[in-house]
Structure 1
Amino acid sequence: MRDIYALDDAARDRANKTPYDEIALLKASGLNRLFGPRELGGGEGEWPLAYKVIREVSRGDGSIGHLLGYHYMWFNVPRLAGTPEQITRIEAEATRNNWVMAGAINARDNDVVVRDEGDYLVFNGKKNFATGVKISDVTILEGVLEGTDIHVVAPVPTNQPGMITHDNWDNMGQRLTESGSTTIKDVRVPWKDAIGFTADKKFHERAYATMNVPLGQLVFGAIWLGIAAQALDETAVYSHKHGKGWGGYDRLIDEPRVLDVLGDLTAKLWAADALVDQVAQEGLELHRNPDAVTPRSRGEYKIRSASVKIIADATALEITSRIFEITGARSTSEKFRFDRFWRNARTHTLHDPVFYQKQEIGNFLLHDEIPTPGWYS
């Protein structure tokens, strides 16, 4: 998969076309069913493997790795907060029907308004960023029940008149993620699909439901490090095929300067990869025993995931900008499109300021404070 996506990654970035073919390939591979039940064609995988898959796909195309990583997060929403019945039913439907999932959830937008109509909920609103909705089969919606402060999350079929996607994703990076806006107009959802709500409309609350943030931070890290790895892969290929030596060296690949920079960047990438893998393993017991997760154990794990976000952010940005020290001025030609790696990393690392992740770690170390669960903490 990685190698297939990498074949024409630069050309597809240039064309900026909706990645229907790339998503069809992803679905044909079965990677979208990684977490699903085996008897229905799923892999019954766990998060440490998922992060590696995201990293590998991102190493071929950061946008497709991004869409896959987000799909995994949305697929896992029932596991995070759902009732046992919802977990079993929705995972079975998603696996059997080979869904790719997206989410129209952005905490920095105005809340979607949810109207209670007896057996149904009706969602209305708009989300300015809704990554992957246009290419998805099912979208996770989130809103606030009218007249209350109660948040409701539910999966809905994407292909319906009330789900209106807008072709306005024109950002400089992650160009194939279809992260533009979505309008939600009179979308009806059965109450039984409101994640975490029981038949009497009471919420099934547990600390594990707030694990979405540390999960997401490791997904982000895997995407960014995959992008950085592809940048190094293509730098090595370019150095062999097109590189011109300096300082008396005929071949670029023999220059001590080049060996030094490439060795330095590769070591940093390997160290960041190892951190993701380590923190992923640390979280395995929490995912295997969700009902045993406490606010404290969740908070301590959130601190560890913050370290992944900090290191992956810095590593990806350094690698994607410094590769030009190796490849030189000729490599800035449009035909190579090496700038896409930095554009992709820079665009997505702006998702939420890394400053606040550093602050959380500092507060934990100096004051023994764990983060209060929120959209980004």
Structure 2
Amino acid sequence: MSTVAPSDWTTRPAPEGPQGWIERATEVAAVLATDAAARDRAGATPYDEVRLLKDSGLVTLLGPVGHGGGGQDWPTAYRVIREVSKADGSIGQLLGYHYLWNWAARLVGTREQWEAVEAEAARQRWFFGGAVNPRDKDVVVRDEGGTLVLSGRKSFSTGSKVSDVTVLEGVLEGTDSHVFAIVPSDSDGLTFHGDWDNIGQRLTESGSVTLDGVRVPWSAAAGYVDKAFRPRVYNTLNVPTIQLVFARFYLGIAAGALETAAVYTRTKARSWLHGGHERAADEPYVIDTYGDLTAKLWAAEALADRVAGEGQRLHDAPDAVTEQDRGEFEVRVAAVKARATEVALEVTNRIFEVTGARSTASAEGLDRFWRNVRTHTLHDPVAYKRREVGRFVLDGALPEPTWYS
């Protein structure tokens, strides 16, 4: 991968304000875009790409300024995810998940826990992975006095193979209580199998992981005090937050697809021999299609921006979040997820209508945009997101907090 020399970023001051960080993300995206199609075909473990995120400082975006972090908010993080995803959907997903796992200590943990995690993460520029697939319930957490021992398997562990630390989750033996803990990714007993082999998001290292007696102190169990969990409504904000992350890299991938297709249309596409136009870019149906897809994308982005702002108000006052606040926010997020899914699938599919048969050549790599969106949008059925919105409109019903709502 072509890279910017580390001194280009490490010797420059950190970006200032949201726009500065978005511009930094645009610089990172420009590097990733130079060989995105080739890296997608190769499917190699993205060590260099994660180093790029670290060197650029993007991994510290949400961290405390006093410890070297960017001190930015979630609306800025979502914009950064979108910019990176325009060039490479896999790396956009990795960055988005990193932000959530970095924030997970704040969502679930005690103030003492999350302050310690965020400070160290910013100082060391940790990259976070996570093995928290909620559909796998075979990780058992055994209490051995002052130590917890985690054993079992997770089908998915996005980013963990290239991470410094991994968020683990399991069920405390003999109870229904879930335990979250952050551990070094090279911990004894933690094995990442590197078996992610899907049609899209190929560089996300989302393969399975085995936990064979991974030991953590009770003090690492997020949100537990004297072996008892202290719940807050704010704990349940993890789902709408990650769903907004999903929507942002879907829309970023769609934006990248449109930009890449437009360049192809202007420079390589041939006009239809019976259309009466010298350039493909002058074909009325081509112009109409780009206008239609862009309008739909801009509308989805505007909704996502609006809802991100609504969510930030909850993040700014976590102890004041009520069940009503959380439920209404989840409904709004569900609407964003539904529209982002539909728009991204349409954009990444229909770009071929305005680029032509030759654009399907493997060397062009235009198919990666659709493959990436199609793969991840199956994470959870979008019909259930529309149902959340519909039930709220018809009955005023709020979604019950679950692992997916």
How far residue 160 of structure 1 moved from its aligned partner, in angstroms, is 2.4
Q: In structure 1, the residue corresponding to 2:150 is in which secondary structure? A: strand
Map Cα deviations across residues 114-143 of structure 1 (whole Å, 9 max, x no partner).
011111111001011111110111000010
Match of 1:292 in 2: 320
Which secondary structure state, in structure 1, belongs to the residue aligned with residue 183 of structure 2? strand
The reply to whether residue 189 of structure 1 matches residue 216 of structure 2 is: yes
Give the drift of 1:38.
0.6
Using structure 1 for the length normalisation, give the TM-score: 0.99
**Corresponding pairs, count:** 376
Which aligned pairs between 1:54-69 and structure 2 lie closer than 5 A?
A: 54-69=81-96
Q: State how far apart, in whole Å, the 2-side matches of 1:143 and 1:283 are.
A: 27
1:341 and 2:369 equivalent?
Answer: yes
The amino acid across from 2:120 in the alignment is E
- Tell me by how many angstroms 1:306 deviates: 0.1
Structure 2 contact 140–172 (Cα < 8 Å) conserved: yes
| Aligned equivalent of 1:275 | 303
Q: 2-side partners of 1:10 and 1:90: how far apart?
A: 36
Q: Are residue 46 (structure 1) and residue 44 (structure 2) matched?
A: no
Q: List per-residue Cα deviations over 1:354-376 (Å, max 9, x = no partner).
A: 01111111111111110110000
Aligned partner of 1:161 in structure 2 is: 188
- Residue type at the aligned position of 2:241: L
* In structure 1, distance between residues paired with 2:364 and 2:376: 21
Asked whether the 8 Å contact 2:141–2:171 carries over to 1, the reply is yes
Residue type of the partner of 1:281?
G
Alignment of 1:1-377 (within 5 A): 1-198=28-225, 200-246=226-272, 247-377=275-405
Identical-residue share of aligned pairs (%)? 59
Q: 2-side partners of 1:364 and 1:355: how far apart?
A: 14
Shift of 1:161: 3.1
CA deviations on 1:262-282 (whole Å, 9 max, x unpaired) are 011011111111111000011
**Runs of 4+ residues over 2 Å off in structure 1:** none
Please give the per-residue CA displacement for 1:5-37, whole angstroms capped at 9, x wherever unaligned: 111000000100000000001000111101111
Amino acid at match of 2:223: G
Contact 2:137 2:171 in 1 (8 A): no
Question: What's the TM-score once normalised by structure 2's chain length?
Answer: 0.92
Q: Distance in 2 between matches of 1:167 and 1:75?
A: 22
How far apart, CA to CA, are the structure 1 residues paired with 2:205 and 2:46? 8
Q: Deviations over 1:204-256 (max 9, x none)?
A: 21000000111011100000001001101111111122111120111111111
Task: Please give the alpha-carbon distance, in whole angstroms, between the structure 1 residues aligned to 2:29 and 2:100.
Answer: 20
Q: Give the counterpart letter for 2:199 in structure 1.
A: M
- Structure 1 alignment gaps of length 5 or more: none
Counterpart of 1:329, as a letter, is A
Matched to 1:350, the amino acid is L
Could you say what secondary structure the match of 1:95 adopts?
helix
The AA in structure 2 aligned to 1:304 is R
Q: Which moved more, 1:344-353 or 1:39-48?
A: 39-48
